Amino acid sequence: MEQLQPDAVTVLMGVSTTTPADLISTTLASLAKQSLRPTRIIVAADARLHPTLEKQLTSPEAHSMGIIYTVADEPGPAAALDAGLAHVDTEYTARINPGDIPHPDRLRRQLDTFHQRRVDILGTAVMELDHTTDATDPVSLLAADLSVRTMPSSHNEATRRLGRRGPVIDGTAMARTTAMRDAGGYRGGGHEADRDLWVRMIGAGARVRNLPTPLTWQRIDIGTGPGPSRADRRAASRSVRDTLDEQGIPRKGFWRRLFGR
């Protein structure tokens, strides 16, 4: 069994050939300003990216930042993320999406919570960015008046409607790497690959929490590349429903049945 570095964090970001390069660069630059520096930053692609971007991601400067660029053998978000997860050698894996900007203290605060609480998947609230906001410097965003989106903080409430939504906001989660792998890693779910994995982890007994403090700035009204088609969205929903059934998790009233016995 691989020995993971204790109390260390790897950031995992999935990208595709349609992801704008400037969004990837913005997120990578913001990660360099974390008060708790991640051990690695894995940029996981589902196909070869533009040569110029690949050159940047494999440059000596990128190497000094701890950036690892991986390419999956097949297309799709799950394949990309699973290829990236295979390179994680730390106790914790933090997810982020291209274009999102982590609060400078996000990783440290999440790691502190793992030390203080019984938790396996930990999300946060988000501050919502639009195209009018200068997002080049995460420190400057601290004083910005932005809309905040929250998620239920307790395990019971966060897992209440797994048939309709994920237990955490995409791109805010930090999870125990061993629990992610024990649940099978990323294996399906289309653009809901994270949700599919969280469901399997919860079915195996993982505990979920969400911090009410917004620790990620998330873009809401700019293009991050073509979104999934209607057929892809339906396929992703079917995949998650199949996973819920596989885990024996009712699509409705899950928390009542599980904790109301």
Query: Would you state the structure tokens that stand for residue 176, as one six-digit string?
Result: 């125990």
Tell me what pLDDT residue 147 has.
86
Place of tokens 């970001």: 13
Name all domains of the chain by residue range, CATH numbers in brackets: 5-259 (3.90.550.10)
Inter-residue contact 217 to 100 (CB < 8 Å): yes
Tell me what pLDDT residue 244 has.
57
Tell me what pLDDT residue 240 has.
53
Query: Would you state the structure tokens that stand for residue 146, as one six-digit string?
Result: 């932005």
pLDDT tens string, the chain, 261 residues long: the values are 579 999 999 999 999 999 999 999 999 999 999 999 999 999 999 999 999 999 999 999 999 999 999 999 999 999 999 999 999 999 999 999 999 999 999 999 999 999 999 999 999 999 988 766 666 666 667 666 678 999 999 999 998 878 778 999 989 999 999 999 999 999 976 778 999 999 999 999 999 999 999 999 988 765 545 555 555 555 445 555 555 556 556 555 444 444 443
Tell me what pLDDT residue 112 has.
98
**248, amino acid identity:** G
Q: Which of 42, 39, 34, 28 lies closest to 90, judged by CA? A: 39
Which residues are bridge partners to 125 per DSSP?
214
Inter-residue contact 82 to 181 (CB < 8 Å): no
Cα–Cα distances in angstroms (integers) from residue 246 to residues 31, 59, 172, 204, 241, in the given order:
36, 43, 26, 11, 9
Tell me what pLDDT residue 254 has.
43
